[in-house]
Amino acid sequence: MASNLPDYVASARPLSKDNRVSWFSNVAPTYAGIMLWFVFWHDVPVGASLDPNAAGQYSAFAGGALAQGLGIAILGLIIAAVICHFLFYLVPALLGMQTGLPLYIVGTSTYGVHGGFIMPGFVMGLLQFGWLAVNAFFAGILLCQPLNQGPGTFAHAAVATLWAIAAAFMGLKGIQYVAKVATFFPLIPLAILVIMFVSTMGGVGDFDQNKLVSSYDDLKVEVKQTDGSVNTLTAQPSLAPWQIIALIGTYVVGFFATAGAAGTDIAMNSRDGKNVQIGGLVGIAGATIVAGGLSLLIVAGVHGKGGLADDAVLRTSALMSSAMGSEKVAAVFMYLLAIAAFPAACFSAFIAANSFKTTLPKVNPFVSVGAGTLLAIVLAVTGVAGNAIGVFTIIGASFGPVCGSMVADFLLSGRRWAGPRAGFNPAGWIAWIIGFVVGAADFIPGMKGVIPCPPVAAFVVGFVLYFLLAKAGMESKSLEMPTTADAQA
């Protein structure tokens, strides 16, 4: 009975099918805006940074993702892109399309009506304000570079504040407005990537991965500690081909995991399953392969042409002036990339707004989202957001078991939403807890590097455990939600 449901579930209403749109109006442009965000693609060749708190232009492994050549790196990128689409996005998106309901309602089947309020509901919303803070912080840095005003200055604080407020407003307006912003902005980084590739393609054939690996032999990065001491970092040996594929998978899937689960919200106004599929193949798999692939080719081309002051640099944005042969052109490109990051900020604000609108239906969304935006502004202005990459990596990895459990629940229910379940669904929470430990393995002392591609491993653990626990009768009872009966396809 609906009376057994919490207010945030009982008050949920499915999106009418009259308001559905095609894949090129919502899914594809929204996801393309995320995957073409320079913060994603410029570190694909790096794979794992030697020092995330410093320049970040060197890999933690000699030669980074290019240590075994372009072929292995591109193969790893393609595998990661396919995993993002088929494992992390497709089922959440189909559930959104079928029900017309957001993730925070659909997730009550996997985690229960009380558990779903926490995960993926309220926590997902809070997480997005963290991403909004990171976006505002780095956009502020790039936009203030021409003025030589860095973090801690009034100019940076003002730009970061206005950036966060504008993105939050667009997020509150809804996915159709976010998609409109995202439709054209991704063309900016795409054009920059194409121009840089054309400028460097002549050096791709001369790229020598062995020379790149050897450039790390004498690499030392000195990092000043809080106590005044200096820590000297050196890269680990180059990785084997399968390890590079796992490294790229960890980076790409870890970045995408939360966006995959949010496919429920993005695709809930899609017309049908075909639009869900095509939108994901274009906006997720396609955009990931294009953006990451061009980034790899550009770095290979720059190194193939030679003449670098530092042969160990792998971050694409750090090689921009070398690629274009002009500091001024590189400065313009960086400015444009900052502007093009706006759709990603809007996406974070949209997911946060949906979370709070759903889990706190009686609170004015301008109040709840406004409070979250204020928190994001504080994190950006104080510089805390600039050191949050490790934290977000852990949280991102936690969505591996979320997506895995949702897929298992979807298949067990006959490829449709099972409806809300009572309390805290044991199958979902046990699968998530164990899956999270697997996904965060690299952050556990003595476990770093033990589990290959932790986000994907976490997905598999979440899927298998939920399936087995559900078969063992450890799902809580289903609750009736008649408002969705006519919305399912």
Q: What is the pLDDT of residue 455?
A: 92
Amino acid 114: pLDDT: 92
- What is residue 222's three-state secondary structure? strand
**What pLDDT is stored for residue 247 in this prediction?**
93
| Domain architecture of the chain: domains with CATH | 2-483 (1.10.4160.10)
One digit per residue, the tens of pLDDT, for the chain of length 489 reads 455 788 878 888 888 888 789 999 889 988 998 899 888 898 899 998 887 655 568 999 999 999 999 999 999 999 999 999 999 999 999 999 999 998 889 999 999 999 988 888 777 888 788 888 888 987 887 788 767 787 788 999 999 999 999 988 887 876 566 666 666 777 899 999 999 999 999 999 999 999 999 999 999 988 777 677 888 899 999 999 999 999 999 999 988 998 899 899 899 999 999 999 999 999 999 999 999 999 999 999 999 999 898 999 999 988 999 999 998 898 899 889 988 888 778 878 887 887 777 667 778 878 888 999 999 999 889 877 765 556 556 777 789 999 999 999 999 999 999 999 999 999 999 999 999 999 998 888 888 889 989 999 999 999 999 999 999 999 999 998 865 444 444
Please tell me whether residue 421 adopts helix, strand or coil conformation: strand
Check residue 41 and give its pLDDT.
Answer: 93
Q: How many of the other CB atoms lie within 10 Å of CB of 392?
A: 17
According to the model, what pLDDT value does residue 486 have? 41
Strand partners, 236: 61
Q: Own/partner pairs for 189-192, CB < 8 Å, 24+ apart?
A: 189/36, 189/37, 189/38, 189/41, 189/291, 189/336, 189/337, 189/340, 190/36, 190/290, 190/291, 192/333, 192/336, 192/337
Please tell me the predicted confidence (pLDDT) of residue 488: 45
Query: Measured between alpha carbons, how far is residue 408 from residues 192, 426, 452, 459, 464 in Å?
Result: 40, 14, 22, 10, 8
Write down the pLDDT at residue 214.
Answer: 97
What is the DSSP secondary-structure string of 131-170?
HHHHHHHHHHHHHHGGGT--TTSHHHHHHHHHHHHHHHHH
Helices (H), 341-448: 342-359, 365-382, 389-397, 399-412, 426-439
Copy the structure tokens of residue 35.
Answer: 């995957």
